[in-house]
Structure 1
Amino acid sequence: DQSPHFTTEETNETINKMKRKHEAHSVLQKLPHCQKAAREMLKASKNKYLEKRNKNKKQKTPTVSNTLTLGEEAEA
């Protein structure tokens, strides 16, 4: 279970699905046999990353240049 790192059920299900494939086909895991599951896992991970990134952009703090501009206006 990857819950601490990936909080969505979709991502956990995809990772578990890929693990089951690797256990069932240990020799074939390097071949295209498991590529679909690997792509799904990467897609789910990317979606989670983009969600976090967009959330952080919305909560963005003022940059140094914005702070200097605000400070200069206050002095004038």
Structure 2
Amino acid sequence: MRALMICIHKKGDLTDPGNWRPIALCSTLAKLYTCCLVACITDWVVTGGAVSQSQMGFMSMEGCYEHNFTLQMVLDND
């Protein structure tokens, strides 16, 4: 898969490289293929038990609220 990298100006001086943000553009077909591949691999890993039940971040299921609530309770009780 090939991607075209372009830079988008964020703010400030145009001659300062730190003021530019690179993004990669790829074809719609490549994005669709990658999305399907990620879905299949994620399903396989979760079903196979390779991912901990406590893993909530970067998963399609909702669960970060539970972790945030637990963290808030611990902080409130200190």
TM-score, normalising length from structure 2?
A: 0.31
> Quick check: which has more Rg, 1 or 2?
1
User: Whose RCO is larger (CA < 8 A, sep 6+)?
Assistant: 1
More helix by share: 1
More strand by share: 2
